[in-house]
Chain A
Amino acid sequence: MAALLARVGARVNNAPEDARLVAAVLRGDKEAFATLVRRYDRPVYHLAYRTLRDAEEARDVAQEAFFKAFRSMRTFRPDAKFSTWIFSITYHACCDRLNRRKRFSVEELPERADTAPGPEHRVIALDEAQRLRDAIDALPEKYRAVVTLYHLQGQQYDEIAAILGLPMGTVKTHLFRAKEQLRRLLGRSMHETR
């Protein structure tokens, strides 16, 4: 398990290399920014897609996040991690879109999984990864974000807390409750498929 977590952590944990690339971008090296884009476009899109559950919007948010990062690179604190920064920009762009959605429709409700029939009813006899993905989709937005970042960042709770702008204790509580709900949803789906 520790090896798996380390491997997942390494997926986005390139801090020293990222710091070097950021310094190069600040010196005017545009190819360094291209390297950062190549390294993070997939996790950024993943975070946006899992938060918004809409491919088109996720694509727009990913573009917007990198554009904002490129324009405000000079405001990037050298002691921070690029991954935390870009995920934070992405997450806040997602929140803006979710808030806009809530204003114009009743589609996204934070406690949807608790109150109304939602995507959990789509959780049918699919492969395990798909069932888990559907179960994550059925989580309320705040839990979904924590689980998605846990997936991206591994057990770096301080980084997840910095991205979401929440205390670390709250992140741990959300993750604990998210896992409880996932277990419940997955248990139900397994029961339904029998």
Chain B
Amino acid sequence: MRLDDDSLDRAIMALPLEEPPPELRASILAATAYRPAPPFTLAEIVAAVTVAAIASWLAFAMGPKISDAVAAAFTHLRLLLWVAVGVGATLWLELLTAGRPAYAFSRRAKVRAKP
């Protein structure tokens, strides 16, 4: 190899770029441009929380009858058992779907994820 300035420049410029790992591009795209849309939009979350807040407020504001009935319901062993079964099933499904809500697999989510 000749070592004058021009030859060295030419040698540097002629160096091929490093070959990236084959899956690099796919993983970058999956984390950026082709990232699936979140299951719920911010507006949907705000609407759901608002509805829940209004429902709770109505339940407690409409008098002690409803709140007493709700409080009494939670003293029943059978109801608590069903609540426990529901929570357990939810956790199990959560583990089964690796933290992704079933919605993420739906057609609507795929349509949303499309650029």
Contacts and interface: CB of A to CB of B under 8 A. Distances in A.
Interface string A158-194: 0000000000000000000001001100110010000
Contacts of B15: 129, 132-133, 151
Interface SS of chain A:
helix
Q: How large is the interface on B (under 10, 10 to 19, 20 to 34, 35 or more residues)?
A: 20 to 34
B13 interface: yes
Interface in B1-26: 1, 3, 5-6, 8-21, 24-25
B69 interface: no
A50 B115 contact: no
Contacts of A45: 17-18, 20, 24
B45 interface: no
Given A33-B32, A179-B8, A187-B3, A46 B24 contact: no
A151 B31 CA distance: 28
Contact of A183 (B8, B19, B115): B8
Given A66-B32, A182-B8, A4 B14 contact: yes
Contacts of B10: 1, 4
Contact of A30 (B27, B28, B33): B33
A183 B7 CA distance: 11
Interface stretch (A35-43, A97-105, A106-114): A35-43
B98 interface: no
A151 B3 contact: no
A147 B12 contact: yes
